[in-house]
């Protein structure tokens, strides 16, 4: 599984031309929430590109990363985010959290 993820990252890096000056930072390793509430996962990014796209992926145990959100809008209900190009942040908010939302979430350029 780990090798597959590295291939995907390389693939995305190749197509969107990321370089060593691009970075993302998620400041929390673990986050908990009460079932039925909303939870926000923060992501800060830095890039030298003007038109860089940014995504949120969800990866469940033994699953593949699935795109949940991009700067162009949400791809799944209950998942949303507001891209802030001034503070260079793109927080992911999940509404009405349930146990089935337990996963690893990746912010990626």
Q: What CA–CA distance (Å, rounded) separates 82 from 21?
A: 23
Residue with the bigger pLDDT between 35 and 73: it is 35
The pLDDT value recorded for residue 64 is 92
The pLDDT value recorded for residue 49 is 78
12-63, pLDDT tens digit by residue?
Answer: 333 344 455 778 887 777 788 888 999 999 999 988 777 678 899 999 999 9
74-101, pLDDT tens digit by residue?
Answer: 677 889 998 898 899 999 999 999 989 9
Asked whether the predicted pLDDT for residue 11 surpasses 80, the reply is no
Contacts with 109 (C-beta within 8 Å, 6 or more apart), sequence order? 12, 16, 18, 22, 23, 24, 45, 47, 52, 53, 54, 55
The pLDDT value recorded for residue 20 is 55
């Amino acid at each position: 599984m780990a090798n597959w993820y590295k291939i995907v990252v390389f693939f995305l890096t190749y197509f969107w031309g990321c370089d060593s000056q691009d970075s993302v930072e998620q400041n929390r390793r673990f986050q908990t929430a009460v079932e039925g509430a909303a939870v926000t996962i923060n992501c800060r990014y830095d890039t030298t590109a003007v038109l860089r796209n940014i995504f949120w992926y969800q990866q469940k145990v033994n699953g593949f990363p699935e795109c949940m959100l991009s700067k162009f809008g949400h791809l799944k209900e209950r998942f949303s985010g507001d891209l802030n190009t001034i503070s260079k942040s793109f927080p992911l908010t999940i509404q009405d959290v349930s146990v089935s939302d337990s996963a690893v979430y990746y912010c990626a350029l």
